[in-house]
Structure 1
Amino acid sequence: MNEHSPSRFVAIDDLDAFPAHLRGGVVAIGNFDGVHRGHRRVLKTALAQAKDAGVPAYALTFEPHPRSVFAPDKPVFRLTPPAQKARIIQAMGLDAIVSVPFTRAFAGIEAEAFVTDILQSRFGICHAVTGYDFHFGRARRGTPEFLSEAGAADGFGVTIVTAETDESATAVSSSRIRAALAEGDVVLANALLGYRWSVEAEVRHGEKRGRDLGYPTANLALPAETQLAHGIYAVRTCVDGRWIDGVASYGRRPTFDNGAALLEVFLFDFSGDLYGKRLRVMLAAYLRPELRFDNAQALIAQMDRDSAEARAALASLTPLGSLDRTQNGLPGEDAGA
């Protein structure tokens, strides 16, 4: 953090509670779902501007996702719910995250009012940083060009960050990451994120079939809008601050009840009561699709093979970058920035 920031990161979800010590700072504006490589270019640019000016840097984002407000019957598959998003932004070194409650009334604010009432009057910004595709205000009239012109007229700086592209020169986006996860392409999703994706949920009681099969699992119900490919994954799970390797199944258990989708996690070399605990499960590799077996013996034999494959995949993990190492408890040298 820069020299003028407080020692503790703050998360703010009420504009009326915006703290005085953040006034005059640099704001990075965007939805930042996933906090992927492109988002982090925006956030890093804001950090650099703040360091040069000796002022705080913070992220301005919106909850819930705007698309979920305008199409509530089709809620967005969130890559990083609010708590996870805040944790990553804190790890990057920003001083705060401001999560504006996004409603239809807020969406109806004129672009001029967003600049004057929020960025200037409320925040007193010295500089704003956004991505090339950020829009704001009623009818999305607030374009990056609009913001740049407002800054030039009103005396605050504006930096528009260009698209981050992958090795195929295709823009990194949250939509691409969601699509990759839906197809089971964990490698691509994690590469676009720049760190390995994880989910968080509380362990719930299940049918305890895994225990009878010799594979007791922690059962986690993910949000209904989760579009993760059904199948078997090599995973690492954070239990009370300790990372443990394992193998997980996400799906409907076609061999048994074909019920609602669950994430069932088997932790290697672990014993203990997990009920009621909130776990973070990091997906390292997709091993195979979900299958139906004729009997329990065939399923157990496949689970043995899955476990061996998962152990092999996890044994060779290298951090994708410093964020992957710190967020996912990975030892060793970073593979990238």
Structure 2
Amino acid sequence: MQRWNDLGQIPPDFGPCVVTLGNFDGVHRGHRYVLQSVLEQASRRGVPSVAVTFDPHPLEVLFPDRAPQHLTSLDQRLALIEAVGLDAVLVQPFTTDLAKLTPREYVELVFVGALRAELVVVGQDTRFGVKNSGDVHTLAELGAEHGFEVIALDDLGEGRRWSSTMVREQLLAGRVDQAASILGRPHRVSGTVVHGFHRGRELGYPTANLGHDSDGLVPDDGVYAGWFLRLDLPEGAPDRVLPAAISVGTNPTFEGTRRTVEAYVLDRTDLDLYGEHVAIEFVEHLRPTLKFDSIEALLEVMADDVERTRSVLTTIVPEHVTGQ
């Protein structure tokens, strides 16, 4: 998949093409429905398929205090878009100058001038241009004027439209299985393994701690069953994807104050993971974070956490795991 980081990188003779527009944070099932429609329409017409997205998120520039937490890093977002099969993606740097463009100015600059779009495929909730003043009706009017078609796809969802906001709500409530049903895959948090307090090793359950610069929204405090991915290993390596019991929280039994994400890889005490680039995928919430009166009580519950994790993951084949 070709990647352009600004309009100047698009070849002057590029187009015609089929294009879509959106933030695509999480690249959930609703997003993929739009992207797959773009791919199908482009294949039918024999032209390239293109997604236009933004970095950073527009709210980070316009209203930083209202900016949502990212579900995915930019690299993961682009990998998920590429997995659909699109030919190219334009990652527009979102600036205050870009935000000032009227819907007409934006369409003429990007869809008409740079991409020579013959079809634009969007969702019903699409907004663009200054103060989000453009919608699908605006786009259709501009398309009729400039010679490109517009398809506005119906929303997808089960009682409520699938959205990145809805995924965030589920994750912040600890409902990682519900988030996964919208995403079409387990939610992922990735980062580098760093040294923690080494309490897990002392207790017989060595954990890999993610650094605080990790990518992806961290779910609500609690204990989860999930997958531990060693991203530095090649795909197909025996130890690349491992079952894990995951803890999110401040370790209240030890009077902790710093929120951490740590994973115990089931039945493995031989792994040296410090400095590795890894990902943790959340499959099922097991219990809330608790404060225990004794180490013995903690160990008893941790043993149960491990067995429940084993039970949850035994029937699941991690087919979702790719190089993303």
Q: Which amino acid aligns with 2:109?
A: D
User: For the residues of structure 2 that align with 1:171 and 1:222, how far apart are their CA atoms?
Assistant: 32
Q: 1:56 is matched with which residue?
A: 48
Unaligned stretches of 5+ in structure 2? Answer: none
CA contact (8 A) 1:234 1:246 kept: yes
Question: Aligned residue for 1:253?
Answer: 251
Give the conservation status (yes or no) of the 8 Å contact 2:189–2:217: no
Per-residue Cα deviation, 1:195-247 (whole angstroms, up to 9, x for no partner): 21111111111111111111111101356994521000101111124111111
Q: In the aligned structure 2, how far is the partner of 1:298 from the partner of 1:21? A: 68
Contact 1:27 1:59 in 2 (8 A): yes
Name 1:14's counterpart in structure 2. Answer: 6
Matching residue's letter, 2:224: Y
Distance 1:75-1:209 versus aligned 2 partners, 3 A rule:
farther
Please give the secondary structure, in 1, of the residue aligned with 2:26.
coil
Query: What displacement does 1:159 show?
Result: 0.9
Match of 2:142 in 1: 150
Q: Is the 8 A contact 2:225 2:313 kept in 1?
A: yes
Output the CA distance in 1 between the equivalents of 2:73 and 2:5: 14
Contact 2:128–2:135 (CA under 8 A) maintained in structure 1: yes
Q: Distance in 1 between matches of 2:44 and 2:303?
A: 55
Q: Which residue is equivalent to 1:303?
A: 302
Pairing partner for 1:129 from 118, 121, 125:
121
* Larger mean Cα displacement after TM superposition, 66-75 or 249-258: 66-75
**Identity score, percent:** 36
Equivalent positions of 1:20-169 (< 5 A) are 22-166=14-158, 169=159
Of 221-230 and 157-166, deviating more is: 221-230
RMSD over aligned Cα, in angstroms?
Answer: 1.9
* Amino acid across the alignment from 2:186: R
CA distance in 1: counterparts of 2:122 and 2:321, whole angstroms: 25
The normalised TM-score by structure 1 is: 0.88
**In 1, Cα distance between the equivalents of 2:218 and 2:271?**
30
Letter in 1 for 2:223: I
Distance 1:238 1:156 in 2: 44
Aligned length: 314
Distance 1:149 1:327, change over 3 A: farther
In the alignment, is residue 286 of structure 1 matched against residue 285 of structure 2?
A: yes
CA contact (8 A) 1:233 1:283 kept: yes
Hey, what's the Cα distance between the residues in 2 that align with 1:21 and 1:280? 40
CA contact (8 A) 1:196 1:328 kept: no
Q: What is aligned with 1:229?
A: 220
* 2:265 pairs with one of 248, 261, 267: 267
In structure 2, the partner of 1:207 is: 197
1:286-312 CA distance string (max 9 Å, x none): 100111112222212111100000010
Task: Give the whole-Å Cα distance in 2 for the aligned partners of 1:227 and 1:91.
Answer: 24
Residues 22 and 56 of structure 1 are in contact (CA less than 8 Å); yes or no, is this contact kept in structure 2? no
Structure 2 CA distance for aligned equivalents of residues 262 and 318 of structure 1: 27
Amino acid at match of 2:257: G
- 2:178 partner letter: L
Quote the residue 1:332 is aligned against: none
- Tell me whether 270-279 or 204-213 shows the greater mean CA deviation: 270-279
- Higher mean C-alpha displacement, 48-57 vs 62-71: 62-71
> 1:287 is aligned with what amino acid?
L
How far apart are residue 75 of structure 1 and its match?
Answer: 3.5
Normalised TM-score (structure 2): 0.91
Residues 164-194 of structure 1, C-alpha deviations (whole Å, 9 max, x = no match): 021xx21111111111111111121111112
Aligned letter for 1:205? H
Residues 250-302 of structure 1, C-alpha deviations (whole Å, 9 max, x = no match): 11111114222111011123322211111111111110011111222221211
AA of the residue aligned to 2:241: W
